[in-house]
Structure 1
Amino acid sequence: MNKSALRIILALCIGVGAAGAWSVQVRHWPPHPFFALAAAAERHVLYFRDPGGAPSWSATPKKDAQGRDYLPVYNDEEPSFEPPAPKPKTADGSRKILYYRNPMGLPDTSPVPKRDPMGMNYVPVYEGDEPDDSSVKLSPGKIQRTGVKSEPAQLYAIRTLVKAPGTIQLDERRLSVIAMRAESFVQRVANVTTGTRVNEGQMLMEIYSPAVAAAAAEYLATINSSVTSGHAAYGRGSRQRLMNLDVPEPAIAAMEKSGTAPVTVRWSAPRNGIVLERNAVDGMRAQPGDVLFRIADLSVVWALVDVAERDLGAIAVGQSVMVRARSFPGREFNGQISVIYPQVNRDTRTTRLRIELPNADFALLPDMYVDAEIAVGSRAPVLAVAENSVLDTGSRQAVFVDKGDGRFEPRIVKLGRRGDGYIEVREGIREGEVIVTSANFLIDSESNLKAALKSYAEAGNPQTAVPSGASDMKDMSGHKDMGSHQ
């Protein structure tokens, strides 16, 4: 071998060794800052969470009540809400694909494989992976975003208030009318006017009546005869004649004491009360039947209230009622139902109640507006759920039972009484079952979407079997107005 060949071989060995050493050194070099920046650029902040772990989030940096900064949550730290892995294949290795769903959980499906706008493949949904058609399944993220809340069905003593407007009226049994029963003349009227409060026995006017004067003279003559003859029974007929002419008892007693027949008779008030009407005038002539005074006792008054027809079944005579007068804010008047009038107003569909109210200080006046509140319901506890739990279509009512793991089952229920924010449930659920109380509209819309997707999958893939429960689900939740009541 000549010297030239040796030189070439030696040069090649030195080059290979140097290259190997250089490659070893390169592998131990620290990463260049450019690569670190590129890796950091791939992460971005989704939102900021409370540093203490409280359920509070923010789209921008902020501080909590203690002045601590909210912690950033990056895209690679967000928990995954993907459904569990598909079930193992059957023995023959074949599994039917029902449809393909959106990988982000959006309400979008496809009968054939496709990609979303971000390039992610739609996820196949196999036969057997779908929940039973009697339930609805939501992802944890959707449940958290929409604020789905639940509470167990429990026993409550439902008490409610029936409210009704009304007016104050006079007690018909506490009215008195002063009218003459014979032709009379008003000699003088006392200082009594409309609205004056009078007491029983207080003088109202002086009357001259020929019939009363003749009866008084006959009565006194009969009394004197009975004293002379010793027959005490004399004079009873004459006294009765004075009473028939409605002469007040104090005036008859005064005649008996004085023994003389007066020219005029003092007419007094028959009861304590308020003068509602005064028609007597000095010197006037009063014919039989003419009303000269009208007096009412206001110590007890009536509240006549109109109750809706639907509430009559819960109301009975003797129930306690609390009445508020619009003229006295904050003050309460307590009474009892004395009469339920046996008639329903065909125009307003209401029935009138009579409530007796004590009125010792005469605060309640006739025709005053009042508002009555009647507590109805049983003190015995019944199975009840929150009012917001019920989806009412008009023809049927339903609730959603929280089965856990994001599964919600619709139940048709039969309802009873309502009150205090709760509704009695007579059939459909059991005590302790967890019922959805908020965001029912979301679950209802998911039910409608699910039924529609089943029909769409069946139309796009005739070989795909649609479970028999889909039609029942659609019938229960396919009402457009079901979620609108929430």
Structure 2
Amino acid sequence: MKNKRIVVAAAIAALLGTSGYGLYRAGMYRGQKMAAPVPAVVSQTADAGKKVLYWHDPMAPGQKFDRPGKSPFMDMQLVPVYAGEAGDDGNVHISPRVQQNLGVRTAVVMRSNLASAVTVVGSVAYNERAAALVQARSNGFLERLYVRAPLDPVHKGQVLAEIYVPEWVAAQEEYLSVRRMQGNGMDSLLGAARQRMRLAGMSEAQIGAMEAGGKVQTRLAILAPISGVVSELAVREGMTLMTGAPMFKINGLDTVWVNADVPEGLAAEVSPGNAVEARTPALPGTVFKGKVSTILPNVDSATRTLKARIELANPSGRLAPGMFATINFSSAVRKNVLLVPSEAVIRTGTRSVVMLAQGEGKFASAAVETGSESNGQTEIRSGLEVGQIVVVSGQFLIDSEASLSATETRVEGAGSAPRPATVSQAGAQTHRGEGIVERISKEEITISHGPIASLQWGAMTMGFKVPAAGLPGHIAVGDKVVFEIRPDQDGAFEIVTITPAVAAMKMPAVPAGAAQ
């Protein structure tokens, strides 16, 4: 009797199992959602000690939801993302071993004083404000020339040339004749004769020399008005001179100019009156001090630089025009500013970014606004706080190692409309699943599959793209299959491999409601 009860119980259990499976198959064929088990990841929402940042659909990870529920995109439950997980926005996880291989170095964001020092290059030139031009003051003949080559040095009062001016000779003879005359009213005539010599072009010194000697000076000396070098020589011995013709240009060397090329972006750091220090390779160890005379109102369209005219004292004449010089501008010290090493800042052309080290192998990118830069330090106006740790070396290798571009995209999108997942975010790895073939078309195969842990998918019915080579000929509707999928360039999943779970097992379709 006992054995009979056991046999009857086993038969009832088998009948109920077959009926349940038939109902499940019938529901799938009608395209209805069956009561699939909730994925294991959903149950994690109740895990103690973990903060849920948001919920998302793994098939569309860019869309975020503030509460759990059913995905509007697929027939599955939303999956939570916890703080500190790999899915946390802006985080890149790199193992300590990889960090060591990449040579990652970090520095702490701190507040300090920043002395803005601008270093530029320039060339020495004549001080054009210390130049003198010697011209012919009357028509005459150049009888003797004492300076015969450009750049000859001269000193003030040195004789440059001797000329014969017929008009000057006549004026001198008239003056001497009046002076030898006696009688009343001679003083006015003498003054008129002296004025005629002045109008002829004679200087007071030349008139004085003639009066002291008491006889006509047939040759008149042209003297250097300042000390320096003859930068331009326009006459030769024996030439006929016309009134106003240039003869010599003399440039003084007591002071010189340095025309420094200041980048357009640093123009705000340089202003007239700034103290400067100049150094030249020709005189190692020598520092010349001066100040900015003026900023020329012109930007070179090719180099995008402005000219800063700097005046330097040159008492010994060691600075020669044409010398190369390095100029250091000193400006006011900025106090208590936020600083990071300049090498930590990645400039993309449209914005500046730094990599933040968050501990436990996590890194995140942060957009910053930079200010002045000096002595290897860059001012941070916004985007960082004191005490944060930035990556100083290896940040570009982190970019290559962990697809920094995708991380930056997520950081940019924080607080704005979420972006759809990209192929690079999903990866190109394959994912394994098991299920039952529901429909087969030319381009798609529909499978009712169980949970796929690697994608954090629950059980559902969905379509997959057929491989380019097509499905194996022995796959048919109703087969229980084992398959592998991967995302394509469009983000859709396609079948990589598919085989029957049990080669000889085929399950006939059961009409809805047939199993009771």
Structure 1 length normalisation: TM-score? 0.60
Q: Does 1:391 align with 2:354?
A: no
Give a deviation string over 1:165-202, Cα, whole Å, max 9, x none.
Answer: 43333222333333323221233334765443322222
8 Å CA contact retained: 2:178, 2:186: no
Residue 316 of structure 1 and its aligned partner are, at CA, apart by 0.8
Structure-1 residue corresponding to 2:134: 178
In structure 2, the CA distance between the partners of 1:462 and 1:228, relative to structure 1 (3 Å rule), is: farther
In structure 2, the CA distance between the partners of 1:404 and 1:363, relative to structure 1 (3 Å rule), is: same
Separation of aligned partners in 2, 1:263 and 1:376:
58
Q: How does 1:21-60 map to 2 (within 5 A)?
A: none
Structure-1 residue corresponding to 2:144: 188
* 2:172 paired residue among 216, 224, 230: 216
Write the letter of the residue equivalent to 1:380: R
In structure 2, the CA distance between the partners of 1:244 and 1:142, relative to structure 1 (3 Å rule), is: same
Separation of aligned partners in 1, 2:354 and 2:155:
65
Q: Does 1:328 align with 2:328?
A: no
Structure-2 residue corresponding to 1:360: 315
Structure-1 residue corresponding to 2:210: 255
Structure-1 residue corresponding to 2:379: 424
Separation of aligned partners in 2, 1:411 and 1:176:
60
Residue 383 of structure 1 and its aligned partner are, at CA, apart by 0.5
Structure-2 residue corresponding to 1:311: 266
Q: Does 1:402 align with 2:357?
A: yes
Q: What percent of counterpart residues are identical?
A: 30
8 Å CA contact retained: 2:122, 2:327: no
More strand by share: 2
Name the SS of the counterpart of 2:114 in structure 1: coil
In structure 2, the CA distance between the partners of 1:330 and 1:233, relative to structure 1 (3 Å rule), is: farther
Q: How does 1:264-279 map to 2 (within 5 A)?
A: 264-278=219-233
Separation of aligned partners in 1, 2:202 and 2:458:
105
In structure 2, the CA distance between the partners of 1:370 and 1:141, relative to structure 1 (3 Å rule), is: closer
In structure 2, the CA distance between the partners of 1:130 and 1:247, relative to structure 1 (3 Å rule), is: same
In structure 2, the CA distance between the partners of 1:372 and 1:244, relative to structure 1 (3 Å rule), is: farther
Name the SS of the counterpart of 2:129 in structure 1: helix
* 1:369 paired residue among 318, 323, 334: 323
Query: Could you say what the CA RMSD is over the residues aligned between the two structures, in angstroms?
Result: 4.0
In structure 2, the CA distance between the partners of 1:399 and 1:351, relative to structure 1 (3 Å rule), is: closer
Residue 427 of structure 1 and its aligned partner are, at CA, apart by 0.7
Structure 2 length normalisation: TM-score? 0.57
Structure-1 residue corresponding to 2:159: 203
Residue 373 of structure 1 and its aligned partner are, at CA, apart by 1.9
Structure-1 residue corresponding to 2:472: none
Residue 425 of structure 1 and its aligned partner are, at CA, apart by 0.7
Give a deviation string over 1:277-329, Cα, whole Å, max 9, x none.
Answer: 44555544323233333332222222223322222222111223333334434
8 Å CA contact retained: 2:274, 2:331: no
8 Å CA contact retained: 1:158, 1:377: no
Separation of aligned partners in 2, 1:373 and 1:262:
52
Name the SS of the counterpart of 2:311 in structure 1: strand
Residue 426 of structure 1 and its aligned partner are, at CA, apart by 0.6
Residue 342 of structure 1 and its aligned partner are, at CA, apart by 1.3
Structure-2 residue corresponding to 1:440: 395
Aligned residues: 349
Write the letter of the residue equivalent to 1:420: N
Give a deviation string over 1:425-444, Cα, whole Å, max 9, x none.
Answer: 11111122222323324554
Residue 340 of structure 1 and its aligned partner are, at CA, apart by 1.6
